[in-house]
Amino acid sequence: MWTGRQAFERIESAIVSLHRQENELDNALASATAEAERLRRERSDAFRELARIKLDEITANRLVEDLDAAEARAVRLLERQRSELDRAATERQAALTALEQAVAERSSAAATLEAAVDSVDELRAKVAEEIKSSEDWLRAKAAFDSARKIAEAADAKAAQSEEELAGKRKPYDEDPLFAYLWSIGYLTPRYRAGVFARFMDRITARHIGFVDARLNYAMLIQIPARLREHARLQQEIAESRKSALEAIERSALSAAGEDELVRRVEEARRKLAEADEAVERAQAALRAADEKRDALVANLEDEAYRDALHIIATADAQDRLGTLVQEAKRTATPADDAIVQRIGELNERIERIDAEIAELRKSARSIAERRLEVERARDRFRKSGYDHPDATFDNNLDLERILGQILGGAVTGSVLWDILRAGFGLRYPGGRRRSKGLTFPFPFPVPMPGRHGEARGDEWRRPDARGGWFPPDDAWGKSRPWGDDGGDDDDDDDGDHRRGKWETGGRF
């Protein structure tokens, strides 16, 4: 099983490896381009030598001058292109080295944060066990438990009364005469009517026994409201008892040194945020270097560029050079025959090196596409909070295999995200639960990515972030009125996880 940080580091390592493969292809491409340049220059030399042998001095001198000018232009083009590629490769390598260093520093910062969080967690677990022997805590805990049970019972009774009210008031509401007298406020200060109306209303009230019915109905509809008010007051009492219990717990934590450990967590979160920003800057610099390099490689593939290079290399003297070659074939001179043979060999080698360059460019595009896919998976990984200190991946063997296949070119990077989502989990589904003997849960933010669409879970890295991020209360059922389990000693983490809502405190 991998932690979120370990999985993230493997992904980053795969991206760096793909960058290195691109650098190796860049070096091979630069070498092949230089070889193509040398072969073309050698072919020009062969044509000049052939011209000197076969033509008279005047014609030969003019043709050689044309070839020299053409070669000079071709060499300048090729050297400029190679120089730009070399410079782009150097800048790209520097950007990659800077990114590797920034990633290493971020990994160190993440490890420091995990250690700091674990230290707080361990201290809270220790205090949670020790505090059980404190008389003050035991009294406060008993008072809170009693008040909580009373509040829960009052809430349940109020809810039951509210549910029963509709059925009990139905006979009254469906009696048109009672409903009429009740609506006009008969026998209340708001009743307003003329003499005749008062006479008729009085007769109606006597006929249906409105006086007694009104008292019963008024009491009936007031009971749920009074029960709800009683439940609210009991909840306030329970909250005050809970606050008293938390005060004892926080005092014990502070005495045990939690404040200093929390300060270290805050400092570690700040440094991780700074390391994240440094990595983002390094990634931006590398992207710029990649774009520059890709533009240069694309320029090498441009059809117009190849045509222009060919025209310059032959310098509008192609017909005359062709004539020289044909003439050499008709003569029995050994020297020009050897040159013609060499020109043919050079042409074949130039074709092969051009094919090699095209294949290198194709490989470079393939690797760049795989790298971009892995980078997209990495970005979604971080956006979803999969690098959280409590994140785990139980399919690390599958992840290792897929990353290896991506590096080897056997599969694309598009499958990586599905593997990551399938393996994601949390060590403590409802937050840090080892210290659940305390009233308030561990307050380190917990992401819940991927449960309902593309939920964000990366805010835990922000130093100013407080609390956690969870699905809506009704996502897995109605949330409990107290959020946490109130300090019971059971270990039903998954049960709490599925029931819905948790409280997260707000210490850091």
Q: What are the backbone dihedrals phi and psi of residue 2, each rounded to the nearest 5 degrees, phi first?
A: -105, 150
Dist. CA 466–CA 447, nearest whole Å = 12
Dist. CA 105–CA 278, nearest whole Å = 9
Given a cut of 80, is residue 443 above it in pLDDT?
A: no
- DSSP tag of 15: H
pLDDT, averaged across the chain: 76
When comparing pLDDT for 390 and 260, which is higher?
Answer: 260
Write out the two tokens for 437. 């003997």
pLDDT for the residue 494 = 37
Which of these, 70, 51, 46, lies nearest to 61 by C-alpha position?
Answer: 51
What DSSP string describes 210-251? Answer: HHHHHHHHHHHHHHHHHHHHHHHHHHHHHHHHHHHHHHHHHH
Q: How many CB atoms lie within 10 A of CB 464?
A: 10
When comparing pLDDT for 68 and 487, which is higher?
Answer: 68
Confidence band (pLDDT; 50, 70, 90) for 469?
Answer: very low
pLDDT in tens, 206-234: 888 888 888 888 887 888 889 899 999 99
pLDDT for the residue 105 = 92
pLDDT for the residue 239 = 92
Radius of gyration of the chain (CA): 41
Instruction: Please tell me whether the overall predicted TM-score, pTM, comes out greater than 0.75 for this model.
Output: no
Given a cut of 80, is residue 447 above it in pLDDT?
A: no
Given a cut of 70, is residue 434 above it in pLDDT?
A: no
Q: How many CB atoms lie within 10 A of CB 483?
A: 17
End-to-end CA distance of the chain: 28
Helix (H, G, I), strand (E, B) or coil at 426: strand
pLDDT for the residue 154 = 93
Give the domain ranges of the chain.
55-330
Residue 260, Ramachandran bin (φ over 0: left; ψ between -120 and 50: alpha; else beta): alpha
- Cβ contact 508:262 at 8 Å: yes
Q: Give the side-chain half-sphere CA count within 13 A for 179.
A: 8
- The three-point CA angle 187-191-197 to 5° equals 95
pLDDT in tens, 97-106: 898 899 889 8
**Beta bridge pairs of residue 2:** 393
